[in-house]
Chain A
């Protein structure tokens, strides 16, 4: 596959992922307010779950065949563009700047806990589906 096509496919996936992140962020802020970054936590949880499940389901031992380009579209494009480490970092800094070190620590702990638990859960569920 030409490198240009790969770039284009990843760009389209990232654009769609980024737009979904923007929409989910607006929805989360409308539902739960902006006092605590629940939106980013949830976005990173969902994206981690999807990449964990998809990687195992379409991997070498997976039951679903997806072309290398298709895998890059979903994993590098969609999931990569949807999830974010920069918003997580900035929102933690903002909590610290507003004199809320406990909320900042909670944001770090919950983001890591949910993100890592979600990628593992996605992997385990896909592993069972592969059997």
Chain B
């Protein structure tokens, strides 16, 4: 029963990385638009795609439970966030900035799907063993 240990550890590291990275982006670019959360979610989607391809049948580490629990459920799950995305979209909408609210939704979904696809495609190129 090491699963909770890996998930908890990965989530802790992922959450701290999210705080550090989104804060860094916000200080650099400003907070009118939630670039921090957007970039966090895009990069996390890329990594989970990469890991999913690695643990898939025929991947570099087929069926590896530690990668699934530590990297995918833990790190990527703890790193990315839906609640900040929702809250920041609501804040933009409440402020009457509907173009940015809509832009955040479209960019988050569109770019994260492209990122997870790109990560998976890249991960599938890594040979087994």
Contact = CB atoms under 8 A, between A and B. Distances in A.
B82 A22 contact: no
Given A18-B74, A21-B77, A115 B82 contact: yes
Interface residues of B, number: 49
Given A18-B73, A112-B109, A118-B86, A86 B12 contact: no
Contacts of B112: 85-86, 88-89
Contact of A82 (B13, B47, B83, B105): B83
B83 A119 contact: yes
A52 B87 contact: yes
Nearest to B20: A7
A90 B115 CA distance: 10
Contact of B15 (A14, A51, A52, A123): A14
B67 to A, nearest CB: 13
Interface in A67-86: 72, 75-77, 79-86
A50 interface: yes
A51 B8 contact: no
A67 B95 CA distance: 25
Given A52-B87, A119-B90, A84 B77 contact: yes
B52 interface: yes
A93 B117 contact: yes
Nearest to A117: B86
